[in-house]
Structure 1
């Protein structure tokens, strides 16, 4: 989760240097290069049934294409600090999606989490309307669109839970995403000259291998040792690390409104993901 949050700042630097479709496509291609041998070596790369592959294709559309397009486009307008706060609404959006689309019953604390996430978004919006420098309503809205795409990915993943090994499924999602993004990325390949300096190329490799490979392996390895609900509480590190990177490395400012929004988002994430039985 710390790496996921840090990647918000990395994504902002990349979005200011390269075309969005090119970043997303190259990220997926690089991830495929690493995931392919991992899937073969650790899982045997089993054949998947057509319905599972179809579901993975739509997961790729929502969780990779829409999410990355929303995140990268939004970060061209808003700050990495506010981008991280908007991403913190994901657990609440997933809970609401489960209620609206899957007809799952929500606990009172999950309704409270959704309300707190909405209040956190409202705090950030008020900061923008008051004219405070830094963020952008348009940028925040685009990132929230990406959050909705990621929520769609999570809901789709529930349909095939246990039917595909994690790394193999991730490879197919990255491959599907690269194929979908390639036509949009082709016009931007002339911008690859921006990678010549080295720094942007290193950031792109870091962004791809951490967000699409390392974070995945760490998360699922951790889930073998702790309950999913307890693991979910650690998503609170996402906006925290995004804020640290934004302030320390990108020179962004942490205002009182940001502190209020951060507090509301933090409580929202904890309430949305805390185990129902209160176990540790």
Structure 2
């Protein structure tokens, strides 16, 4: 089991990478059909982790409950998160993902209260309210180009954006569930084994869609730079981030792990602004500030707990 400082570093690196590939999935989603992209992602990750599938000699056999949790974690945290996140970013922007996914710590707190029967104080409920308000403000912020478009075109674009916001919110809930389930799995399985098994489930779930979509897709039109980005995206999304997250959760309680999800929306928004040429409007900056305020409110008790050594 890693020491606390190493565990914190693993969690921080994991969420920073997740936020980065959330933003960089936008050009990939413009090149590949989303479900084909998801299938190729899991396939590349699976090849890279073939050696991780072997059961260690000191690891117990998979119990039925563990098998169910592995499937559920892959369904929510791998398959549905990937589909909702990529579709959501393709319909909105990386900065949108950054703002909306800032509600993940609050989602983790609510799920801990509902499913793990953990006590959630009033400060966390205020954090949930701030996150919802931030999401609502961001959804009301119109992109600049919409003001110059025709009314019908602007209306259609607004409807697509609302769908994108809803998908990103669903992705946030899936990511929160992934964190809660992951903590339970680390009690019986090693990080590499969890990473490889949930990726295998993700590949199985996406294979029917991938095989269907690849028939009509012209792979020869994809530039080599996009293939390189796909490989890096697959390794980061399927292998590096999951292994780092599971390694950190072995030594850190789930509530403290939720602190580090703040790095997901921050890095996603920063990559969108710095690498993809996006920018914040004043209303979006206010929404982002509210979302980050929700993160501070939701995680402050955990930080205080760290200081007093609980």
- TM-score > 0.5 by shorter chain: yes
Q: Quick check: 1:143 aligned with 2:168?
A: yes
Q: Residues 92 and 183 (structure 1 numbering): CA distance in 2 closer, same or farther, change over 3 Å?
A: same
- Output the CA distance in 2 between the equivalents of 1:224 and 1:63: 18
| 1:1-150 alignment runs, 5 A limit | 1-38=15-52, 40=54, 43=56, 46=59, 47-128=61-142, 136-150=161-175
Distance 2:220 2:163 in 1: 26
Residue 127 of structure 1 deviates from its aligned partner by 1.1
Confirm or deny: 8 A CA contact 1:195 1:201 kept in the other structure: no
For residues 228 and 152 of structure 1, do their structure 2 counterparts lie closer, same or farther at Cα, with a shift above 3 Å needed?
A: closer
Q: Residue 202 of structure 1 aligns with which residue?
A: 228
Structure 1 gaps of 5+ residues are: none
Alignment match of 1:166 (pick from 180, 191, 200) = 191
d(CA) in 2 for partners of 1:194 and 1:9?
Answer: 25
- SS of structure 1 residue aligned to 2:141: helix
Query: Is the 1:125–1:137 Cα contact (8 Å) retained in structure 2?
Result: yes
Change (3 A) 1:45 1:53: farther
Q: Distance in 2 between matches of 1:129 and 1:115?
A: 25
Secondary structure of the structure 2 residue equivalent to 1:32: helix
Partner in structure 1 of residue 283 of structure 2: 257
Deviation larger for 262-271 or 227-236:
227-236
Q: How many residues align?
A: 279
SS at match of 1:105: coil
Cα deviation, residue 224, structure 1: 6.9
Separation in 2, partners of 1:107, 1:94: 13
> Which of the pair has more CA radius of gyration?
2
- Residues 180 and 229 of structure 1: is their aligned pair in 2 closer, same or farther, counting only changes over 3 Å? closer
Contact preservation (8 Å) 1:194, 1:200: no
Query: Which residue in the other structure is 1:183 paired with?
Result: 208
Hey, what's the Cα distance between the residues in 2 that align with 1:36 and 1:144? Answer: 32
Q: Judging changes above 3 Å, is the alpha-carbon distance between structure 1 residues 278 and 52 closer, same or farther for their aligned structure 2 residues? A: closer
TM-score (norm 1): 0.87
More displaced 10-residue stretch of structure 1: 70-79 or 95-104: 95-104
Summarize deviations over 1:193-220 as a string: whole Å, max 9, x none.
1574211211111111112222233345
What is the CA–CA distance in structure 1 between the aligned matches of 2:250 and 2:68, rounded to whole Å?
A: 27
Q: In 2 relative to 1, CA 98–219 (structure 1 residues): closer, same or farther, beyond 3 Å?
A: closer
Partner Cα separation in structure 2 for residue 223 and residue 160 of structure 1: 10
Range with greater deviation from structure 2 (228-237 or 59-68): 228-237
Assess if the C-alpha contact under 8 Å between 2:95 and 2:268 holds in 1. yes
Q: Tell me the distance in 2 between the aligned counterparts of 1:258 and 1:192.
A: 38
Q: Distance in 2 between the 1:29 and 1:74 partners? A: 22
Judging changes above 3 Å, is the alpha-carbon distance between structure 1 residues 127 and 36 closer, same or farther for their aligned structure 2 residues? Answer: same
